[in-house]
Amino acid sequence: MMRLNFTEINIDGLIGPTHHYGGLGVGNLASHSSRQKDSNPRAAALEGLAKMHLLDSLGIPQFHLPPLMRPNWPWLESLGFTGDRADALKRCFDLSPTLLSAATSSAFMWTANAATVAPSCDTHDQRLQLVPANLCCNLHRGQETMDRRDQLRALFAAVPDAIVHEPLPSVFPLRDEGAANHIRVCDRAGLNAVHLFVYGPPSENSGSRFMGRQFMGRQSELASRQVAKALQVMESDLFFVQQTVQAIDAGVFHNDVISMSNGNLLIYHEHAFEHSDTVIASLASRFHSKTNLELKTILVSESQLSLDEAVKTYLFNSQLISTDPDAMQLICPEQCRESVPCMALIQSWIDDATNPIKRVHFMSLNESMANGGGPACLRLRASLSSSQLPHLNKGFRADAACISELTQLVERWYPSRLTFSDLRRIDFAEHSQHAVEAIWKHVGHFCGYFSVDSDTSR
């Protein structure tokens, strides 16, 4: 049987006009520290579009998912905020500002949490598999699950041998936060791979397990195993590893805040995983037997980069991309350039002739970073075969022309300053909905998936 070439695509979520700092992200220190500060939705969206433009210019097929409609009126009404909408917003603001923040959240921008993906070359039935994440661990994020499922189904609708599953049931023991807790290491052709799923310490069976801990793990082992099962990846190609409590309590709420990977390269902090030496050795052994290649691993020690500095700079939330078979490029938050230990690490990687990272780009993503999301948070990766790639819905393609048009829409519709109290204003709510409608019209035939009344910290 002929083996097809595979290409990795990027899918970014366009940031919405209600982007604000609600402090809702569990264990997310940046989100908590920014709570109710003024935000700049226009700058946030333009920063995201600039990152998409960079990826497109580097030859990575770039796609985008439009913002979801916010406020989420059906959700607010289900909580009793019915009747006149202007009055409902004011009542919600006065009675429960947390609910209003959740109903207007733009956290769907962090598309790394939208789903977990396995390409057709990895699966039993040779189909591209996507499992939307239920995101049930957070008040604001669980609302987005079914809309993101529908958007992914619209994007992949015509792709041969692709399936977008239903998410896992939205119950705490099955809490799933998507690709932010999933690593796929593969050979240069992208054909042979091993999958690593990262989950938080057990908590669903014993409340006492929370004692002595600051934050809970936002991905459960049970969810990780069920997602892997739905993806139909071979059991021998699966590894499951637990996050350290130390990392979670330091603000590592997702694995992509403490490790990153691309191709056969895995970079991780010494406090990323429990029993990391054993796990990495087993992973490398399996990778070698599968690909006949070495798994290149880089261990970052606490002395090189402290957990606190890793969380502050989001070095591990950088994007690693392959621009040709022999070279990788690193897309980092601007905060990494301002950090002496981060720059020392990055320079050592570039200076090392055996390291595939040959170039680094620094991106200003300050609005996203203030809510706990760096470059890797903003994108979902998927590998498609040469026969699948042409069938993606072109309405979602973020090429230079599309990004230019979206930039104009953002500059026209998005506010440059948003205070927390603005969320109670009906004129702002209506303006935000008109802005999202304008973006949906740009996408075109996608508009039929949502009505205006269809249903933001990471």
Q: Which residue has the tokens 């023991």?
A: 173
CA 119 to chain centre: 18
For helices 400-413 and 41-57, angle between their N-to-C axes, nearest 10 degrees: 170
- 115 close to 108: Cβ distance less than 8 angstroms: no
254 among known catalytic residues: yes
Tell which phi-psi region holds residue 126, choosing left (phi > 0), alpha (psi between -120 and 50) or beta.
Answer: left
Q: CB count, 10 Å around CB of 66?
A: 25
Calpha distance 155→157 (Å, rounded): 6
| Cβ(82)–Cβ(99) below 8 Å | no
Instruction: Find residue 132's DSSP bridge partners.
Output: 115
Virtual torsion, Cα 264, 268, 274, 276, nearest 10 deg: 50
What residues does 435 pair with on adjacent strands? none
Rounded (5°) CA angle 291-357-300: 85
Residue 445 bears catalytic tag: no
Tell me the C-alpha distance between 433 and 103, whole Å. Answer: 13
Q: Which of 177, 221, 270, 367 is catalytic?
A: 177
85 and 175 in contact (C-beta within 8 Å)?
no
Residue with tokens 């052709």: 189
Tell me the Cα Rg of the chain. Answer: 21
Residue of 136, 137, 342, 377 with catalytic role: 377
Q: How far is CA 418 from the centre of its chain?
A: 24
The two tokens of residue 39 are: 């935000």
- Would strands 162-164 and 182-186 be described as parallel, antiparallel, or unpaired? unpaired
Q: Is 92 a catalytic residue?
A: no
Both ends of the chain: CA-CA distance in Å? 43
Q: Are strands 259-262 and 238-242 parallel, antiparallel or unpaired?
A: unpaired
- Check 20, 140, 254, 269 and give the catalytic one: 254
Which positions are annotated as active-site residues?
Answer: 177, 254, 377
